[in-house]
Copies of this chain bind each other. A is one copy, B any other.
Amino acid sequence: MDIALVNSLPYDDFVDVFGNVVERCPIIAAAVWSGRPFSSTADLEASIYEFIDALPESGKEGILRVHPDLAGRDLQGGTLTQESREEQGQAGLDTLTAAEVSRMARLNTEYKRHFGFPFVICARMNNKATILQQLEERLGNECTREKMHAIDEVKKICRLRLHALVVQERSNKL
């Protein structure tokens, strides 16, 4: 799909395609459709980030709270979204040892109790070792800073999901 085709989509098809570029937040794709036409994938991406950044703090926390736990009940129960399943799988989170599952669960619980939202990280840019390391490190962050960090991870995830859906434009410039 190229950007011209993206711009030609009626809203329902647009939401079908892009509804999960931010996990379980189809409202975001549905909202940015108002701003079409997009000049490029980068322009569509910027519209999504602009929408996220304009949300009140509770809205940003809401985005984080609809994310699944890493290696959590949704992975184990088969109820992850397709995108999350592939991303957690690629990072090796579906083949953890019992000890690793237990450690991840303990850290996730601690993180959620402390911050009031789940640990979010771009799994495609990590592996199980770096994810566990980051989880431990970020547990020590101050809350506002950690929320900003988590939203940055949401954007990294969004960028990779978006770029998997839209063919990149070749530059016409020499």
Binding site for B on A (CB under 8 A): 10-12, 15, 19, 24-35, 51, 54-59, 61-66, 112, 116-118
Contact = CB atoms under 8 A, between A and B. Distances in A.
A170 B66 CA distance: 32
B57 A56 contact: no
A35 B58 CA distance: 8
20 contacts: A10-B112, A11-B65, A19-B66, A24-B26, A27-B27, A27-B65, A28-B62, A30-B63, A31-B55, A31-B58, A31-B59, A31-B62, A33-B61, A33-B62, A34-B58, A34-B62, A35-B58, A51-B56, A51-B59, A54-B56
Given A27-B63, A30-B61, A33-B62, 6 more contacts: A10-B112, A15-B65, A31-B65, A34-B57, A34-B61, A51-B56
A10 to B, nearest CB: 7
Nearest to A47: B58
A47 to B, nearest CB: 9
How many copies of this chain sit in the oligomeric assembly? Answer: 2
Chain A interface SS verdict (over half): helix
A51, A66, A116 pick with most chain B CB within 10 angstroms: A66
A51 B61 CA distance: 13
A29 B59 CA distance: 10
